[in-house]
Amino acid sequence: MVAQPRAVLFDLDGVLVKSEETWFRVLEEAGRRFRGRPVSREEFAPTFGQGTAADVRVFALGCAVPELDAFYLQHFARHAETMWVNPEAAPLLAALEARGLKLALVTNSVTRLAEEILNLARLRGFFQVVACADQVAHAKPAPDLVLHACRELGVPPAEAWMVGDSRYDRGAAEAARVTFVGLCLDGEVRIDRLGDLAARLP
């Protein structure tokens, strides 16, 4: 039996928004800038969501992590028209808020970029905490971000659910001992649409 949560943590990309095409275009440009050739779709596809430090390493980019983060922040908005906002996100977040649940975002993006994406999606006001990769030592799938969000919300991990759609999210939730809710992905709870979450609460 899965316990009733006091807080729900959400991954950003793939759950609240879909910006894979946006990120691909940004990475194409980053490849041209920092290694002399664009990142291809074949290179990009298996790495989506891995975090900036991994991007530098996997794509052999000739820059430091802070430099690449600054590049992302500068160029993301130029391609923001390709970002899809889940129409079920705002109604669900409002319903959870009305139930008295605490809400946090947990993302491998850096803070300034996550804030910009949330503002573009008109979702920022729902979250009491926005936990990002530049706030902790290790990004997902390490547990750092999930534990950081729980501490900031004042809720123990055992009383939180984490909604995600990737192996990075599941790994982080499992390592933090938070109930994992998989969106189109197996977890302790599985949902196939974001809007189904409210009905799955005990």
Nearest in space to 184 (alpha carbons), one of 73, 43, 76, 86: 86
Which stretches of the chain drop beneath a pLDDT of 50?
none
Residue 198 in contact with residue 92, Cβ under 8 Å? yes
The whole-number pLDDT of residue 4 equals 86
Domain extents for the chain?
7-18+84-200, 20-82
DSSP 38: P
> 7-18+84-200 is classed in which CATH architecture?
3-Layer(aba) Sandwich (3.40)
The whole-number pLDDT of residue 50 equals 78
The whole-number pLDDT of residue 202 equals 79
The whole-number pLDDT of residue 143 equals 98
The whole-number pLDDT of residue 1 equals 63
Go through 62-101 and write b for each residue having 16 or more CB atoms within 10 A of its CB, e for each that does not: ebebeebbebbbebbeebeeebebbeebbebbeebbeeeb
In whole angstroms, what is the distance from residue 123 CA to residue 126 CA? 6
